[in-house]
Chain A
Amino acid sequence: MQERTLTYSKNIKMNESSGEFVRKIKHTITSPSRIKQFIIRLVMYVLLFDLTYVYIFPFLYMIVTALKSNADLNDLSVNWIPRSLKYQNFQIAYQLLGYNRYLKNSVIITFFATLGHMLGCSFIGYGFARYNFPLKRVLFLLVIISFIVPVQTIIVPLYITYKNFNWLNTFLPLIVPTFFGFGLKGSLFIFLFRQMYLGLPTDLEQAAKIDGCNFMMTYWRIVVPIARSSFLVTLVLSLVWHWNDFYEPAIYISKSSMTVLPSRINYLSSIVNAPPDQLFDMLQNAASELPEGEESLNNAVMMAGTFLIIMPVLVIFSIVQKQFMQGIETTGLKE
């Protein structure tokens, strides 16, 4: 096998004399369509890299600033590369945020809410894609309407409803509605799943049915495994949305021990921007202290805090990133 390829490449080399090679290059350079193509490609890549800079900027800014020391922050000549890396910033931010405690709250809410979207929306989407039942058009119209209505319009009665259920200051108002799949995000997922199911051939399900699978078993054993990529897309989108959601948690949860991690950033910023005479008291309340030789907190701590808050999402995304991007391709959105 190896020998054969070797001789083959030798043949090519022998056939392709230097004159032919030069002619090829000449052709590439002088042909106007090729030049045009080359220029278009060049412009495209330049634009892409420029955009990459714009998109990656907030992330880089966050990390670089988080690693800066006080001197580096005040030195205007230090822009991207800090003179000395200061890992302590992360430690201080970690303590001030009360990271462990609030991480737990955020993880519980995000886990169950994401699970709710994945289970609920795939289930409902399957019903809309494969079945005909009375009032189907009306129900689908309701999906669209609940997609359009902004949360602010119904927030007051929702609040009162949850109050009657005794759900305030629990995680339930953030978790339970996701299982029913409505609202801006739920409807979007229903659309995604419905479109994906519509694109699937029905052969497998029919075969399962003939073999005596009932409709629930068909769904769990046949459809869900096929729909893996859509589940992944839902997972990432729902995860990020619930992790960063600041509006609804702020309304339904007023007890400070129950708040989610991202809203702790306001507390952190209030400490960082506190006047020096109050700083000591605030730090004592948070059971933490300044590192030696420091008199005040600075922006670096702030950025370290934001990085710590966003880190779990980044970790999960980097794990599923490859499959996620492939999932987008196979979702096959048509409507």
Chain B
Amino acid sequence: MRNLVNSIAKKAKGIKFNFHLTMEKRHKIEGLIFVSPFIIGVILFFLFPLYMSLKLSFGKIISMVGFKIRWIGIQNYVRAFVIDINFLPMFWEITRNTLIQTPLIIILALIIAVVLNKNIAMKGFFRTVFFIPFLLGTGEVMRQLLSQGVDRQVLSLANSNILPYTLLNYFGNDVVTTIDNVFGMLVQILWKTGVQILLFLAGLQSIPESLYESAKIDGSTEWEMFWKITLPMISPVMLLCIIYTLVDSFTDIKNSMLSYIQEFAFRRTQFEYAAAMGWIYFAFIIVLVVVIMAIMKGYIYTTEAERGGKRRARKNVNV
């Protein structure tokens, strides 16, 4: 009996010994534990739906029970581009809006962030003010405000006394409406800059002050410093901002595509067509992102630490 117990104890000791992990292995396991929520979530709520929607866009649902899909090729895509008369004009409009708005949002947000980052009076007040449209939201509240034409009232020629009425008559009605439209667009763009300003501010704060000091000693002007120091240093944040703006513009309330896909998916229950339109959308974004990445690739600044990131990470293996 005692022998048996002893032998079991020995075996148990042996097993325990086998389970002993090296430092490096334990480090890896700890890392995996930290990102495990992401792995679970991304498989369950992202990769699986992504795969299903791709399959759906090339197929037809045979039975809703068990979600069986038959492959039918590119018919759904053909329908979007050739048969559906609403899709292409809508898609073109959104593409155009995105291509016009994104650079404007980025540039305006950058200018405002740079000014707010300077040593100015009432800094806190201005920073809070520029965040208000974001608080009012991108959702139903903003939709309600926009439906009342608030964006046009901000800088309106027709309804205000910026210019005398006779002068406006001289311009003609069309010109005044066009100018008001442009102002309205501009105001809407400004209201969308909240998050981007924040990201830029955070990016600007991380630029070391010593760079500016040494540039000042070498006699460079503020203008030169902006182009030679600020812009290169902030380029990674800029890329993040651009991609964020691009993707976010697709969930905008003024985006007619959103309600169009929703209508097909949930009111007409044509899941396949909705999925195909969603993928056309996604493909468009991917193309834009790849183009932007290709353009910005040569300009994006990476620190020495990031370039040698792997080496550094291996050094810190114990933490």
Contact = CB atoms under 8 A, between A and B. Distances in A.
B144 A306 contact: yes
A131 B265 contact: no
Interface residue range, chain B = 35 or more
Interface stretch (B84-92, B145-153, B224-232): B145-153
B272 to A, nearest CB: 9
Contact of B115 (A48, A59, A142): A48
A136 B28 CA distance: 10
Contact of B205 (A53, A128, A157, A329): A329
B199 to A, nearest CB: 6
Given A51-B130, A57-B154, A61-B153, A150 B285 contact: yes
Interface in A168-184: 177, 179-184
Given A209-B319, A245-B139, A55 B129 contact: yes
A297 B136 CA distance: 23
Contact of A133 (B28, B190, B195, B258): B28
A156 interface: yes
Interface in B124-165: 124, 126-145, 148, 150, 153-155
Interface string B244-257: 10011011010001
Interface string B37-59: 11111101111111011001000
A6 B265 CA distance: 79
A219 B140 CA distance: 39
Interface stretch (A17-25, A285-293, A308-316): A308-316
A328 interface: yes
Nearest to A322: B124
Contacts of B133: 55, 58
A153 B265 contact: no
Nearest to A188: B244
Interface stretch (B4-12, B14-22, B167-175, B274-282): B274-282
Contacts of B257: 152
User: In terms of DSSP, what is the predominant structure of the interface of chain B?
Assistant: helix
B278 A314 contact: no
Contacts of B115: 44, 47-48
A313 B203 contact: no
A106 to B, nearest CB: 11
Contacts of A102: none
Contact of A54 (B31, B131, B154, B279): B154
B85 to A, nearest CB: 20
A329 B187 contact: no
Contacts of B307: none
A153 B126 contact: no
Contacts of A159: 265-266
Contacts of A132: 27-28, 31, 313-314, 317
B309 to A, nearest CB: 9
User: In terms of DSSP, what is the predominant structure of the interface of chain A?
Assistant: helix
Contact of A126 (B34, B50, B118): B34
B27 A180 contact: no
Interface stretch (B99-107, B211-219, B235-243): B235-243
B248 to A, nearest CB: 7
B295 interface: no
Given A57-B154, A132-B28, A247-B258, A157 B52 contact: yes
Interface residues of A, number: 98
Contacts of B258: 152, 247
A265 B38 contact: no
A310 B136 contact: yes
B137 A153 contact: no
Nearest to B121: A45
B140 A127 contact: no
A332 B267 CA distance: 45
Contacts, number: 296
A306 B63 CA distance: 43
B178 interface: no
A333 B316 contact: no
A177 B41 contact: yes
B77 interface: no
Nearest to B66: A164
A136 to B, nearest CB: 8
Contacts of A127: 31-35, 38
Contacts of A296: none
B120 interface: yes
Nearest to B249: A150
Interface in B258-307: 258, 261-262, 265-266, 271, 274-275, 277-279, 281-282, 285-286, 289, 303, 306
A100 to B, nearest CB: 19
A3 interface: no
Contacts of A233: 198
Given A244-B140, A302-B144, 16 more contacts: A47-B115, A54-B191, A58-B142, A61-B145, A142-B46, A153-B281, A155-B278, A159-B266, A161-B44, A177-B41, A184-B244, A184-B248, A240-B134, A262-B141, A306-B141, A328-B202
20 contacts: A48-B126, A54-B191, A120-B38, A127-B31, A128-B35, A132-B27, A132-B31, A133-B31, A133-B32, A148-B243, A148-B286, A152-B257, A152-B258, A153-B275, A153-B278, A157-B53, A161-B45, A161-B48, A247-B262, A333-B237
Interface of B: 27-35, 37-42, 44-50, 52-53, 56, 67, 112, 115, 118, 120, 124, 126-145, 148, 150, 153-155, 187, 190-191, 195, 198-199, 201-203, 205-206, 236-237, 240, 243-244, 247-248, 250-251, 253, 257-258, 261-262, 265-266, 271, 274-275, 277-279, 281-282, 285-286, 289, 303, 306, 313-314, 316-319
